[in-house]
Amino acid sequence: MKIALAQLNFHIGNFESNTQKIIDRIHEARSSGVDLIVFPELAVTGYPPRDFLEFNDFISRSEKAVNQIAAHCTDVAAIVGAPSRNQIGKGKPLFNTAWFLANGKVTKLIHKTLLPNYDIFDEYRYFEPNKTFELVECQGKKIALTICEDLWNVDENPLYYIDPMTELAKLKPDLIINIAASPFHYRQAETRLDVLRQNASKYSLPLFYVNHIGSQTELIFDGGSLVLDSKGDLVAKLADFEEDFQIFDTENLLSNPDLTAPIFTNPIESIHDALLVGIKNYFAKLGFTKAILGLSGGIDSAVTLALAAKALGAENVLALLMPSQFSSDHSISDSVQLANNLGVSYHKIGISEPYSNFEEVLKPYFQGLPFGLAEENLQARIRGVLLMAFSNKFGHILLNTSNKSEAAVGYGTLYGDMNGGLSVLGDVYKTQVFALARFINRDMEIIPENIITKPPSAELRPDQKDSDSLPDYDILDQILTLYIEERKGPDEIIAAGFDAFTVNRVLKMVNLSEHKRYQTPPILRVSPKAFGQGRRMPIVAKYLN
Strands 317-321 and 345-348 turn out to be parallel
Please give the average per-residue pLDDT across 238-245, as a whole number.
96
The model's pLDDT over 349-384, given as tens digits with 9 standing for 90+, comes to 999 999 999 999 999 999 889 999 999 999 999 999
pLDDT confidence of 259, banded at 50, 70, 90?
low
* Closest by Cα among 15, 70, 71 to 44: 15
How far apart CA 297 and CA 188 sit, in angstroms, is 33
CB atoms within 10 A of CB 65: 22
pLDDT band at 262 (very low <50, low <70, confident <90, very high): low
The length of the chain is 545
* Pairing assessment for the beta strands 2-7 and 397-400 based on DSSP bridges: unpaired
Sign for the pseudo-dihedral over CA of 184, 185, 190, 195: negative
User: How far is residue 82's CA from residue 236's CA, in Å, rounded to a whole number?
Assistant: 26
3-state helix, strand, coil in the chain (%, to 5): 40, 20, 40
Question: In this model, does residue 420 exceed pLDDT 70?
Answer: yes
Q: 545: pLDDT confidence band, cut at 50, 70 and 90?
A: confident
Note the pLDDT of residue 257: 64
| pLDDT above 60 (res 251) | yes
Q: Name the catalytic one among 41, 123, 128, 218.
A: 41
Checking if the pLDDT of 329 tops 80, the result is: no
430 annotated active-site: no
Where are the domains positioned within the chain?
2-259, 270-466
Q: Is 41 a catalytic residue?
A: yes
pLDDT tens track for 39-87: 999 999 999 999 999 999 999 999 999 999 999 999 999 999 999 999 9
pLDDT given for residue 264 in this prediction = 57
Which pLDDT band holds residue 302 (cuts at 50, 70, 90)?
very high
Q: Report which secondary-structure segment, H or E, holds 427.
A: none
> For the domain with range 270-466, which CATH number is right: 3.40.50.1980, 3.40.50.620, 3.40.50.2000, 3.30.450.40?
3.40.50.620
> What pLDDT score was predicted for residue 258?
65
Name the residue type at position 296. Answer: S
Q: Is the dihedral of CA 332, 334, 335, 341 positive or negative?
A: positive
Catalytic residue among 2, 21, 112, 430: 112
* pLDDT score for 457: 74
Task: Count other Cβ atoms within 10 Å, centred on residue 491.
Answer: 10
Rounded average pLDDT over 288-302: 96
265 confidence band (pLDDT: 50, 70, 90): low
Distance of CA 165 to the CA centre of its chain: 28
DSSP characters over 454-509:
SPP---SSTT--GGGTS--HHHHHHHHIIIIIS---HHHHHHTT--HHHHHHHHHH
Give residue 458's pLDDT: 65
Residue 49 near residue 95 (C-beta atoms within 8 A): no
The number of CA neighbours under 13 Å toward the Cβ of 83 is 32
Helices then strands (H, E): number in the chain?
16, 19
**Which one is catalytic: 128, 138, 148, 488?**
148
Residue 165 DSSP SS3? helix
Looking at residue 113, its pLDDT comes to 98
Superfamily (CATH H level) for 2-259: Carbon-nitrogen hydrolase (3.60.110.10)
Tell me the pTM.
0.95
On the question of pLDDT at 138 being above 60, the answer is: yes
Q: How confident is the model at residue 252 (pLDDT cuts 50, 70, 90)?
A: confident
- For the chain, percent of residues with pLDDT exceeding 70: 98
The answer to whether 123 is a known catalytic residue is no
What is the predicted pLDDT for the residue at 467? 75
Digit-coded pLDDT (tens) for 467-498: 777 899 999 999 999 999 999 999 999 999 99
